[in-house]
Structure 1
Amino acid sequence: MRLTGLLLGAAAVVALAGCSSGADTRAVPATATGSLERLAAEVKCKPNMQTDADEIRQALCKNGDGRFILATFATDRGQREWINDAKDYGGHYLVGRKWVAVGDDGVVSALRGTLGGEVENGVDHHAHAHSG
């Protein structure tokens, strides 16, 4: 599976989103399931499809909370491989069963209030800076 272009898209959204540290204390609902379109409807975004393949469907989304990537996967393994590779780019990931949303901390927290799921964080490159 060729994920490089997809990962660069995720990195671009993370870079566009910037860094924020907003905390959301809303109760977390049961984790949503369904198609990319169903998940997008739940969070009130019209998905701008970037990839529509058998193994992954990925779209750029924007709603009142901000911009994010929403992706659905054919297999759990494909999802985990994508997340593990994408985490090298940093960012915040909301992970559900065969889906992931990627955005800044505030967006991911807001999405979690609707979609449920678990938050995973990518590598913080600022924390790994080397001093000479």
Structure 2
Amino acid sequence: MPRAAVIGILALMPLVGACSGGEDDPASQGKQAVAAAPAAGVVAPAKVEMIAGLTGCKANIRVEAEQLREGLCHTKQGDYLITTFPEDRYQQAWLSTASMYGGKYLVGKRWVVAAKPKALERFREKLGGTIRQLRGVGPTPKAS
């Protein structure tokens, strides 16, 4: 990798980070504890491509819309989606919709990563953010 590219990446790394409301904040309910990522630095919205680079992939942009950008990462460890939002309200709308389906997501400042739970833990170490369990709608399966 050219030296200028490495310097550019290092200069931009502080722009990726974690965000969480306080414990009394209703928006923080259902979240796990926030972990500051060593590589994350300052809290700020990031681009799909930057998050993808920090997680070890080159994202294939699937959605380019006014409300969000979504990139698909395909790696040996599995596929995952990175979604970024230009405003907090779009992220909140996305999370509300995703909560109908349930699942775990890594949530940061105007970005969300959807991946297998083991991958989310690895990504949190690099990106920061909060792993959130969203509840699905409908009956839950009973244990046998």
Q: TM-score, normalised by structure 1?
A: 0.68
- Which residue of structure 2 lines up, in the alignment, with residue 71 of structure 1? 83
CA RMSD of aligned residues (A): 2.4
- Cα offset, 1:71, TM superposition: 0.3
> Between Structure 1 and Structure 2, whose CA radius of gyration is higher?
2
Q: TM-score, normalised by structure 2?
A: 0.63
Aligned-partner Cα distance in 1 for 2:92–2:69: 15
Aligned-partner Cα distance in 2 for 1:126–1:88: 9
> Which of the numbers 44, 48, 58 marks the counterpart of 2:60?
48
- Please list every run of 5 or more consecutive structure 1 residues that lacks an aligned counterpart in the other structure: 1-26
- Cα offset, 1:122, TM superposition: 2.1
- Cα offset, 1:44, TM superposition: 1.1
Deviates more, 1:30-39 or 1:119-128: 119-128
- Which residue of structure 1 lines up, in the alignment, with residue 71 of structure 2? 59
3-state SS of 1:82 partner: helix
Task: Provide closer, same or farther for how the CA distance between residues 105 and 127 of structure 1 changes in structure 2, counting only shifts above 3 A.
Answer: farther
Instruction: Using the aligned pairs only, state the percent identity.
Output: 32
Paired residues, what number?
104
More helix by share: 1
The ranges of structure 1 where at least 4 consecutive aligned residues each deviate by more than 6 angstroms after the TM superposition are none
- Please list every run of 5 or more consecutive structure 2 residues that lacks an aligned counterpart in the other structure: 1-34
